[in-house]
C-alpha cells in the first residue's frame, strides 16, 4: 500500500506583499458578502435565484461604480473565485447538504486562491512534514 505524505508550508511575505494580500482578502470578503446579500434579497423578495453568471455581470457593474472603484486595484481572479465559492455553497444548500452559506468574517476562513502574478518577487517559504 502506498503511503501518502503531507507537508505544511508557512509563507513569509515581504511587507509590500502582506499589504497586497490583505487588500486582496478584504476585497474578496466584500464581494462574497455583497453577493450573498444580492442572492438572499433576490430569493426572499423576488422569489428568484441568482447564479454565478448573473453575479459575474453584476460584479462588473459594481466595479464601475464610483464608491467601489477600489475593487479594481486587485486581480479579478480571486473575486470571481469568491463568487464561485458562494454559488457552490448555495447549490449545496438547495440540494440538501446540511450547511447554510456562511458570511466571511476574517482572512483565515476559506481564503481565496492567490494568483501567481501576486506572488512575484522574493518570498521565504519554510516547510515541515506533517
pLDDT at position 1, please? Answer: 75
Question: What's the predicted TM-score (pTM) here?
Answer: 0.70
CA 113 to chain CA centroid, Å, is: 7
Query: What was the pLDDT predicted at 54?
Result: 95
- Residue-wise pLDDT tens digits, 52-67: 999 999 999 999 999 9
Q: What is the pLDDT of residues 71-102, one digit of tens each?
A: 999 999 999 999 999 999 888 877 877 655 56
Helix intervals (H) in 4-108: 15-46, 52-64, 76-94
pLDDT of residue 41: 94
CB within 8 A of 129, min separation 6: which ones?
5, 6, 7, 8
Give the Cβ contact number of residue 116 at 10 Å: 9
Contacts of 107 (CB under 8 A, 6+ apart): 22, 25, 26, 29
Amino acid at each position: 500500500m502506498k503511503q501518502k505524505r503531507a507537508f505544511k508550508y508557512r509563507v513569509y511575505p515581504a511587507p509590500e506583499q502582506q499589504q497586497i494580500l490583505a487588500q486582496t482578502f478584504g476585497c474578496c470578503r466584500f464581494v462574497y458578502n455583497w453577493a450573498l446579500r444580492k442572492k438572499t434579497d433576490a430569493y426572499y423578495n423576488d422569489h428568484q435565484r441568482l447564479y454565478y453568471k448573473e453575479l459575474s455581470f453584476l460584479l462588473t457593474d459594481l466595479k464601475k461604480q464610483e464608491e467601489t472603484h477600489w475593487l479594481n486595484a486587485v486581480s479579478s481572479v480571486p473575486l470571481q473565485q469568491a463568487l464561485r465559492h458562494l454559488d457552490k455553497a448555495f447549490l449545496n444548500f438547495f440540494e440538501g447538504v446540511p450547511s447554510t452559506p456562511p458570511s466571511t468574517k476574517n482572512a483565515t476562513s476559506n481564503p481565496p486562491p492567490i494568483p501567481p502574478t501576486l506572488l512575484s518577487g522574493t518570498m521565504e517559504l519554510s516547510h515541515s512534514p506533517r
